[in-house]
């Protein structure tokens, strides 16, 4: 049986299309930057780092190695990561969201966890489908959010047992989804190193992250 090619042409997909990517804003084709709505969700760098370590370990079917965490964390702090330095990636989308309000929406994972309803309203308005006052009163927003919750998505059979087109288990994308889990893996000195780095890199931007 011929294996399905995971690559495809975007034009082959029916419109409207929803695409997910990790590439920096500067690497997006001009056709996307100029015509599409872009929603960027970032996470605090410490939780993002630990989440990625667990993800890789699960793909390799190996337990998470503490020594590997230290080595990988040092690389991250030096700007070595799969999609470029964390701060460049975030700043690229943040600056675009300031310059192109109608095209780029910048969201933080921690804020969405803390107040999902408000951020869902912002997302719906940005996409051109704002909720009416009547829908708000009737609890429509809450009803939509329930099946979209982390726990519900993690419990879906397709995400527990199925694999994606390249053979990676869907379960690898779901672990805890908590804010502050990095504290179970990183030392205070490592956290302080990252904190100083973020203050330096984001000194000219009104950006800060919640770590707990």
Transcribe 31-59 into DSSP letters: HHHHHS-EEEEE--HHHHHHHHHHHHHHH
Residue pointed to by tokens 């190695």:
65
Coil, helix or strand for 182? helix
Closest CA to 194 of 177, 185, 93: 185
Tokens of 194: 């990252």
The yes-or-no answer on residue 22 being catalytic is yes
Q: How far apart are CA 52 and CA 46, in angstroms?
A: 10
Q: What DSSP character marks residue 23? A: S
Q: Measure Cα distances from 204 to 45, 68, 93, 139, 201 in Å.
A: 18, 32, 15, 40, 8
For 63, half-sphere exposure in the C-beta direction (CA atoms, 13 angstrom radius) is 3
Question: Catalytic pick from 22, 89, 162, 168?
Answer: 22
Active site residues: 22
């Amino acid at each position: 049986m011929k294996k399905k090619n995971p690559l495809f042409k975007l034009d082959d997909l029916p419109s409207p299309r929803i695409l997910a990517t990790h590439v920096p804003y500067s690497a997006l084709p001009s056709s996307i930057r100029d015509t599409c709505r872009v929603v960027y969700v970032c996470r605090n760098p410490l939780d993002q780092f630990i989440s990625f370590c667990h993800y890789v370990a699960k793909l390799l079917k190996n337990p998470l190695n503490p020594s590997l965490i230290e080595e990988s964390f040092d690389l991250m702090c030096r700007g070595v990561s799969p999609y470029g330095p964390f701060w460049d990636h975030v700043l690229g989308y943040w600056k675009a969201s300031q310059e192109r309000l109608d095209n780029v929406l910048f969201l933080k994972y921690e804020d969405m966890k803390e107040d999902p309803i408000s951020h869902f309203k912002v997302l719906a308005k940005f996409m051109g489908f704002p909720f009416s006052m009547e829908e708000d009163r009737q609890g429509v927003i809450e009803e939509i959010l329930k099946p979209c919750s982390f726990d519900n998505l993690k419990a879906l059979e397709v995400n527990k047992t199925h694999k994606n087109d390249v053979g990676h288990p869907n379960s690898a994308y779901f672990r805890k989804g908590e804010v502050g889990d990095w504290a179970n893996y990183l030392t205070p000195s490592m956290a302080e190193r990252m904190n100083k780095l973020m203050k330096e890199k984001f000194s000219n931007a009104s950006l800060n992250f919640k770590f707990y």
